[in-house]
Structure 1
Amino acid sequence: MSRFVKAFMALVVASLVLSGVSAQNTVQSAPGTPPIAALITVSPPDAEGVVTISGLAGAVFPAAQVAIRNLYTEETVYTQAGVTGTFKASLYGPGNTPFWISPAQSIPNTLRSRPGSLPGGPGTIVYGAFPETAADDTPVTQVVIDGSLEDWEAAYSSAAVLAQPPIYALVNRDSFYLGFAPASSPVYAQIAITFSLDGALYSLALDPRQEQPAALRRIQPNESDLGSLAVSATQADAIEIRVPFLPINPNNTAIETATLERVQFLGADGAELLTIPVEQPVTILPDEADGIPHLNSRLGESFTRFVISGPVAQGVSRWTARGRINGLAFEPGQQVVMELDVTLDAPGLPEGLAGLKMLGQIGLQPVIGADGQQATGGLNSNNGWSDVLTPGGLAITNLSGDFILGESTVPAPQVIRQGSRLLFGLEFALTLPDDLPVGRYVPFFQGFAQVADGERFAWKDNGLFGSGGAISSHPLTRLPLVLSVGTVENGHLLWTLFQDQPSSGSRGVLADEDRAGYALSNRVRFDSPTYILPRVTGPDGDPIVYPIEPYLLNQMPNAYDTSAPPLVPFLFPGGRLSARVTRPNGAVDDLGSTSILQSQLSTAALDERTQFGAQAPVDVYRLTTLNTSFTDYVFEDYGAYTIALSGSLEDVWGNRYDGGGTYRVLIAEPLYLLPGVLPGTPFEVGDVFYPGLRVQPGAPADVTITARIYPLDGGDLIEHTITGQANRSGYFYPDAGGFSFDVAGEYVIDYEARYTDAEGKLWAASQRSAGVIADADGALVAHGRRGLDGGGAAASVRPAWFTLKRYLSIVPDAGGQLNYPYNSGDVAWVASDGQLNPVIQVQDRQGDYAGWLIENLPGYITPTGLSLPQAAAEDELPLGVFSTADNPYGAPLIAERIANLGYFYVSAVRPGVTARQFVAGSAADGLPLYWDWSDPYNQQPGVGISGTRLGDYLFLFGGAVLHNQAINLSDTAIYAAVAITISPDDTPGPRVFPPYRGEAGGPNGGALLVLDETEINMFFHPTGLQPGQVLEVGDTVAIAGQLAPALPSVVSVTVTAPDGETRAFEGTASSIGYFYQPQNDFQVEQAGVWTVDIAVRHEGLTSAGQIEPPPPTGGILGAQGGRFQFYVVLPETEPLIWNDTRIDTSIPPAFPYNFNLRLPQDWRDVQVGYTVTMPGYILDAGVRPASAGSYTYQYNPANLSRRFANLESNGQGDGPAASDVVALTFVITGFDANGRAQIQTRAFTVLHDRLVTFDG
């Protein structure tokens, strides 16, 4: 099909869609809907490249404030829509420029003029017209200042002013050109050119062999030195000079007459060595101008035009290139020819600067591989997914398949300066490697400059070209082209669902058909095996609508701090989408087949940080039909749904892509699952897995735990499946107990829980934990990172222990972001407005890995600025997916060429919430692996609207995995540290120190926490039996938990039964502080109130040395004297009655709430006990006598938060993510009328604005 026919058909489709959209929009658009792309036009550019973007009525919702960004240059404008949704705005954007358009009800100034995520939303992307003809018909002088007269002889033979020696001269609108080749010339220091312009006589002295300005002197009238002048000059076979008029006479550059009087060769003392008299008029070419000639172009007759642009000096100005390429379909070994005519505005460029040369690189980003499947991502296309997986199927993130194809340089004499504007042409003749994998690729461009032999710098950098505010952290200019290498019939793109609808921290659902080769990674939480979404907004809420439309993770940066053009310029409207939804009862909703009309980005939130934080994927590219059957689907039933999605679309060049498959989602109310082992806990060979868990609200849920162990040596998968039912209060411990980790390797553990309440609602939970199992005597030792990141002096001043304030006073150019502490077991104190960067490096105790890195990656510089020999000496070797140095491609592009498979696991968890979980194949500056302490953590239940608060603590787990066949090394290593949240006003402030208070001889970092004016230096976080837990006679008591600091400390436990009998035991935690000893488990046989005393102490080594007596000690946070109670009832015991019969009800958040408990009338000596907890703390506990048949307990979050600052109590937000999950357990004991001891309990769960109790 010809390009004309395709364009015609696109116009027909657009007009049909336009009429259809107009018909559908008799009712104005509403907030929360994207702009209607079919109602938006982009005008042709004016002479300065400025276009007008106009929206017809209904394009956006009425009176919206509209943000519009040029995705090439990042320039952004804001405009106000009219009452019918019309708008108009003008900004730079010639040709095929992509524009991101995002409406909002109001955009505050604090969100404007920032790089990255555009405020408002949802948004869409529209393009200007792809150029078909040259933009400027002004003839360009066809002379290249390259030291050759061939171009003169070919095009301007009539411009010869002297035959022997041949001298050519001409004048166009902008400059005086001179070329000559003397038969012989003396050894000279300078050349002096005497010439006239409109009667004024000038002399110009220069050395064309040197990159330096010329000296200009006016001879007449009014003889005067005019200073230095930047000219273009060079000497090779000939001498060529171009003299710009603008600096000579800025008020009149239209020259009518010119002469060349003479050319002189001068000695070092200024003496005349040789004079060539000319005294001839110079040819005037008033219709020609300075420009970019492409002599002997290799493009041929058939080529494709395009336009690209980008920011200069952090946005102070811009560059634009009009490009041409010799085709879009190639074979390996063929030549790609590309020409870029670049105009770069450099307002900060010094006058008289000489020697400035320009450079450009062309690289390729993979899109589709030889098998027709989506290929490894690259910069700004790899955020949130990967096709490089761990043995357990987890995404190994932060990898790139990009590679540089070639480079072009424009010598300084060929760079034309017009005031602050530079013109130059980059010509690329790039031979595709013979072994380049077949597939589709998108070219990208990077521009650099260099003065003489100085350091090259990027056009985007502040410096010589000017100094701007800020642009994207990782800007990348992707060409609007898709190159086919070899034969690829169709391309399959990864389509996900529900990317903007998180499921307890998970983000997005993959099709079953894609799971073998791909995995998602939101980096906040390992995606759960089951995607669970609620049916309604709350117990009394409305049905929730969900989009059955696909997200394409590889199209955009998906980054809060970076915006960029889409990877592939799709043709809209175009393509079809079909969907069939199978309900739990087997009924099928056929949504039909409909047109894909446009793109959609971001949620309806004004600021995407409030939804997903500033480092997790945001603004994910979605294909939308604008058809409510697809955009607003309602899951009417509880249970498992299957979605069959299929579709295809084309890019503007006619390449076809398909996507879809079978997607699964469970519609249920969310259970809050607390695994008995903190997610991501690293294990040593010999550790025993604690197989229990707890669900809230407490319910007799059906539980399945599946543990898969992947041996390091590649041996057979080891799988353990644990099933059973929790007791009625949500406590689960299986009869068979746990299992031991017998081999080193990696593990994945999946937790599933299901419960149907008395009203028929399905409640469900799903969670994934993953990490590393290591031998204690492995070759590798896992470390975090010393000091702070940053260039310059920061690379040489990087202590393991420091205060941030002191560090920055010495190294002010370092970043203010703490890293994982270098030493396992150390502690980081992080301000509540701070950040933390999770990174794992290794120490090589044998030297083989260090030697391989040094030999095979010469010139490699670590992210902290160290050479590999330095990194080896400092025990900070990088883990990465590396190929050998002779592989020109990004290492993941060809799996067979991966020579070193190294990656690290990260699990940063606070009790009940994961802050970061991912596997990374690189710690380089690609994806934002760090996170803000205020991150909303994908809206997990209990996260709190403020994120991590003062008093919150996190366990920083990590693990290293390395496979290197060349040195016959496969090894793992484990790591753990602790982070404590402090106030921004804390003294001494953010810091990293060894644990305890100098007891091991190291520096004193201060107490971990201060609670009730008591300094806490260590504590035990219970993950097995919980304070206030209700057990039934016959249940198993198992003590498990995690120590802080994360060290092999001693745990002492005493359990006292209701009859006073005690059971005591003591043991030492693992090397990272994990504690569980199954030999101490026992079954409870007495009903009543049981007491547990837990004390911990540390007697061994720390990173600072051996602990000196007396050892540091601690207990459980919030427990008075380290003691808590749990309650045991008979299975047939009726629950405690309260004053409400509802099991699930809405409550006002943060307000005091009275729990009125009914006491049996015939009981005597009644006592009421209560335990109030949130994950990680006992908030309140006690025992009170009771009478008069009732007891009232007031739950007052405001009062509790005075003691526990991390308890959210401001009542902001809605839903379970808005504040901490709080559990309240009440117990009454007494004697009935027959004198028999009795006990009743009832447990409640507060999910911010929702109260649930399943007892009864």
Structure 2
Amino acid sequence: HVGKDNAVTLQQYKGVANESGYWDGEGEYFTFENAGEYKIDVEARYTSEDGGLWVGRLVYGSAIATPDGPIIAHGRRGPDDIRSISPPWGFGSDFEPGGHHQFPFFTGDILWGIEGSDPNREEMGPGDSVNTLLSFEALDTKHPLVARAIKQVPPDNVGGDISSYVKAGQIPLATFVELNPDGSDKSLSQGFRPEQLNLRAYSYTSAQRPGVRVRELIQGNDVGIAYWRFNDAYHMQSGNGQGGDLPGDFKFLYGATVIRDIELKEGIFAIYGSGWVLARDDDPMGSRFMPPFQGNAGGPNGGPLFTVHGREIDMFFLPLGVRPGSVLEVGDIFRMAGPIMPTLPSRVEYTVTAPDGSTRSFDGRANAVGYFYNPQDDFELDRPGLWTVDLAVMHDGMTSAGSVQEPYPNGGPLTPDGRTFTFVVTDSDTHLLDMVTDLTRRNPLLWYGNTIQNARFEAPLPQGWTGETAHLIITMPGIVLAQKDLLIEDGVIKWSLKPEEMNRLAENFDYDSGLADTI
């Protein structure tokens, strides 16, 4: 963590995951106590039985907001090929073809994209892509850092006059050599010197789909190639099909704006969040960027986010601590953590039921961009068996269009019933079932070739065991596809994966071009 005064706080954690790959952080956590920036480096290592070393690494970062700061982080209005101030909400068909949509202007808003052309036109764009650009609104234009950041924006970035952008609250972030007091260019008379870059104004931007990293950038000026199209295979990351995004796929769009003076050891920071959903090409509204909740707060109605398990979804919670279907061990720490879409400070209530029927109930509110975690709610899992979480989210506050009205928008996890999910806790007496699948007899390359129409999974009960039912949990990143009891047939638990059936439950389940989702 790097504070506004350049002070660096370094904290390291290490441990060993359980047999199913879950690591609870040894019960530790890090609290961001001061505004600033952070960077997280993660490395996982595994040595196989034959001595092979497997290593996975990731790096990411962003900022922690300045309390009651002088700036607000925003996306951008309209497509990126327009040098004027567009409305904050609208349709792709409102604009000429070409260009790319940008992160929605207001935190909490939703951008629906489409892979094809917008209604009543053949030309592509802007609805088929997203550019990762942010801006900021100056609440105090006389704040020393804010005033300097506004002054150093190149005129070419704002059509020659920045005043309209300041008034609209859409000021670009740019890091350049500051001018002399008389307005002349320092570099012309003195040449470049590092201290001329003491003032730095830049943004963090991030687009994340469950299980797939899409874009992560730090930009000191507008970058024209920071966009992506929805047929991008994202380097064929595990869980992503060769066709890229499918209707019903969703992404969390996060960002932060930073203005800091390295020499003076001063800085201000603001954070941002919004949502993206891929709509069907035949959606009559086409691509659009709108407030959430289907006009509940009085703004335009962009429709539901998407449909899962036959239900229209207006908001949901994505568990990223203990996830649906996780296999944990007695002594592991239960953590409820994750984002809410729309990315707003909504309420969260949940009850955790242990195998013996005892319950623990918690409630709280997400942060300004919809992220929820309260470390005081963590607890140790003390008994083996099937645990159940009943979770609900509700938004009772402001949106970009105003305050929501009763009945307040609500939702839960993306599960068959929209409220509950289950996970398993094991101990030393737990028998692990020997599960087999006919997929192992097929070359994995065929999984992506549309040659597999179904797959069979079987697990015989241990010798001497009897039972009538088994509990089945089937998940893909972000969504629980099935959560039900199965009848045991002749001492064998059997389940058939029928991709087309899964796709009817969740439209973003890959099957048309082969099996790809991590299940």
- Fold conserved (TM > 0.5)? yes
Match of 1:881 among 160, 169, 175: 175
Aligned counterparts of 1:1157 and 1:852: Cα–Cα separation in 2: 66
- State the 1:1146 CA deviation: 4.2
Residues 408-460 of structure 1, C-alpha deviations (whole Å, 9 max, x = no match): xxxxxxxxxxxxxxxxxxxxxxxxxxxxxxxxxxxxxxxxxxxxxxxxxxxxx
Q: Percent identity?
A: 35
Match of 1:1063 among 360, 373, 392: 360
Aligned counterparts of 1:821 and 1:1050: Cα–Cα separation in 2: 23
CA distance 1:1142–1:786, shift in 2 (3 Å): closer
Structure number with higher relative contact order (C-alpha < 8 Å, ≥ 6 residues apart): 2
- State the 1:884 CA deviation: 2.7
CA distance 1:851–1:752, shift in 2 (3 Å): closer
Aligned counterparts of 1:1153 and 1:1142: Cα–Cα separation in 2: 6
CA distance 1:789–1:871, shift in 2 (3 Å): same
Aligned AA for 1:1027?
P
Q: Which residue of 2 aligns with 1:949?
A: 246
SS at match of 1:1184: strand
Q: Which residue of 2 aligns with 1:1189?
A: 491
SS at match of 1:1165: coil
Higher strand residue share: 1
Q: Which residue of 2 aligns with 1:1041?
A: 338
- State the 1:950 CA deviation: 0.8
Does structure 1 residue 722 correspond to structure 2 residue 28? no
Q: Which residue of 2 aligns with 1:799?
A: 87
Does structure 1 residue 839 correspond to structure 2 residue 133? yes
- State the 1:762 CA deviation: 3.2
Q: Which residue of 2 aligns with 1:1088?
A: 385
Q: Which residue of 2 aligns with 1:818?
A: 101
Aligned AA for 2:185?
N
Following superposition of structure 1 onto structure 2, how do residues 1001-1080 of structure 1 map, counting pairs within 5 Å?
1001-1080=298-377
Does structure 1 residue 852 correspond to structure 2 residue 151? no
Q: Which residue of 1 aligns with 2:61?
A: 770
Q: Which residue of 1 aligns with 2:506?
A: 1204
- State the 1:976 CA deviation: 0.4
Match of 2:30 among 728, 739, 752: 739
Residues 49-68 of structure 1, C-alpha deviations (whole Å, 9 max, x = no match): xxxxxxxxxxxxxxxxxxxx
Residues 1127-1155 of structure 1, C-alpha deviations (whole Å, 9 max, x = no match): 11113423112347999984541442211
User: Could you tell me whether the CA contact under 8 Å between 2:77 and 2:102 is conserved in 1?
Assistant: yes
- State the 1:1038 CA deviation: 1.0
Following superposition of structure 1 onto structure 2, how do residues 748-763 of structure 1 map, counting pairs within 5 Å?
748-763=39-54
- Stretches of structure 2 lacking an aligned partner (at least 5 in a row): 117-127
SS at match of 1:985: coil
CA distance 1:967–1:765, shift in 2 (3 Å): closer
- State the 1:1114 CA deviation: 0.5
Following superposition of structure 1 onto structure 2, how do residues 503-582 of structure 1 map, counting pairs within 5 Å?
none
Q: Which residue of 1 aligns with 2:123?
A: none
User: Could you tell me whether the CA contact under 8 Å between 1:999 and 1:1108 is conserved in 2?
Assistant: yes
- State the 1:1079 CA deviation: 1.3
- Runs of 4+ residues over 6 Å off in structure 1: 965-968, 1140-1145
SS at match of 1:1089: strand
Aligned counterparts of 2:76 and 2:491: Cα–Cα separation in 1: 61
Following superposition of structure 1 onto structure 2, how do residues 604-1003 of structure 1 map, counting pairs within 5 Å?
709-715=1-7, 717-791=8-82, 795-796=84-85, 798-805=86-93, 807-808=94-95, 812=96, 815-833=98-116, 834-848=128-142, 849=145, 851-852=147-148, 860-862=155-157, 865=159, 867-885=161-179, 886-887=184-185, 894-898=193-197, 900-923=199-222, 926-964=223-261, 970-1003=267-300
Q: Which residue of 1 aligns with 2:455?
A: 1153
- State the 1:966 CA deviation: 9.7
- State the 1:860 CA deviation: 1.1
Normalising to structure 1: TM-score of the pair?
A: 0.38
CA distance 1:969–1:1219, shift in 2 (3 Å): same
Q: Which residue of 1 aligns with 2:469?
A: 1167
Q: Which residue of 1 aligns with 2:122?
A: none
User: Could you tell me whether the CA contact under 8 Å between 2:206 and 2:216 is conserved in 1?
Assistant: yes
SS at match of 1:882: coil
CA distance 1:1140–1:1155, shift in 2 (3 Å): closer
Aligned counterparts of 1:1136 and 1:853: Cα–Cα separation in 2: 61
User: Could you tell me whether the CA contact under 8 Å between 1:804 and 1:816 is conserved in 2?
Assistant: no
Q: Which residue of 1 aligns with 2:401?
A: 1104
SS at match of 1:1208: coil
Residues 1055-1078 of structure 1, C-alpha deviations (whole Å, 9 max, x = no match): 111111111111100110111111
SS at match of 2:155: coil
User: Could you tell me whether the CA contact under 8 Å between 1:1086 and 1:1128 is conserved in 2?
Assistant: yes
Q: Which residue of 2 aligns with 1:350?
A: none
Aligned counterparts of 2:192 and 2:240: Cα–Cα separation in 1: 38
Aligned counterparts of 1:1029 and 1:1007: Cα–Cα separation in 2: 29
SS at match of 2:350: strand
Aligned counterparts of 2:9 and 2:110: Cα–Cα separation in 1: 34
- State the 1:880 CA deviation: 0.9
- State the 1:1032 CA deviation: 1.2
**Alignment RMSD (CA, Å):** 2.6
User: Could you tell me whether the CA contact under 8 Å between 2:43 and 2:56 is conserved in 1?
Assistant: yes
Residues 1074-1110 of structure 1, C-alpha deviations (whole Å, 9 max, x = no match): 1111111111222111111111100111111111111
Following superposition of structure 1 onto structure 2, how do residues 85-100 of structure 1 map, counting pairs within 5 Å?
none
- Stretches of structure 1 lacking an aligned partner (at least 5 in a row): 1-708, 1213-1217, 1223-1256
Aligned counterparts of 1:1142 and 1:964: Cα–Cα separation in 2: 57
Q: Which residue of 2 aligns with 1:333?
A: none
Aligned AA for 1:785?
R
Normalising to structure 2: TM-score of the pair?
A: 0.89
CA distance 1:871–1:930, shift in 2 (3 Å): same
SS at match of 1:718: coil
Aligned AA for 1:795?
S
The count of residues paired between Structure 1 and Structure 2 equals 496
Does structure 1 residue 1118 correspond to structure 2 residue 448? no
CA distance 1:1219–1:1142, shift in 2 (3 Å): closer
Aligned counterparts of 1:985 and 1:831: Cα–Cα separation in 2: 9
User: Could you tell me whether the CA contact under 8 Å between 1:795 and 1:866 is conserved in 2?
Assistant: no
SS at match of 2:376: helix
User: Could you tell me whether the CA contact under 8 Å between 1:880 and 1:900 is conserved in 2?
Assistant: no
Aligned AA for 2:132?
P
Residues 949-998 of structure 1, C-alpha deviations (whole Å, 9 max, x = no match): 11110000001111247998521110000001111221211111111122
CA distance 1:760–1:1045, shift in 2 (3 Å): same
User: Could you tell me whether the CA contact under 8 Å between 2:232 and 2:243 is conserved in 1?
Assistant: yes
User: Could you tell me whether the CA contact under 8 Å between 1:1019 and 1:1115 is conserved in 2?
Assistant: yes
CA distance 1:921–1:876, shift in 2 (3 Å): same
Aligned counterparts of 2:491 and 2:332: Cα–Cα separation in 1: 31
- State the 1:1162 CA deviation: 2.1
Aligned counterparts of 1:741 and 1:914: Cα–Cα separation in 2: 24
Residues 718-758 of structure 1, C-alpha deviations (whole Å, 9 max, x = no match): 11111111111111102342121011111111111122234
Q: Which residue of 1 aligns with 2:119?
A: none
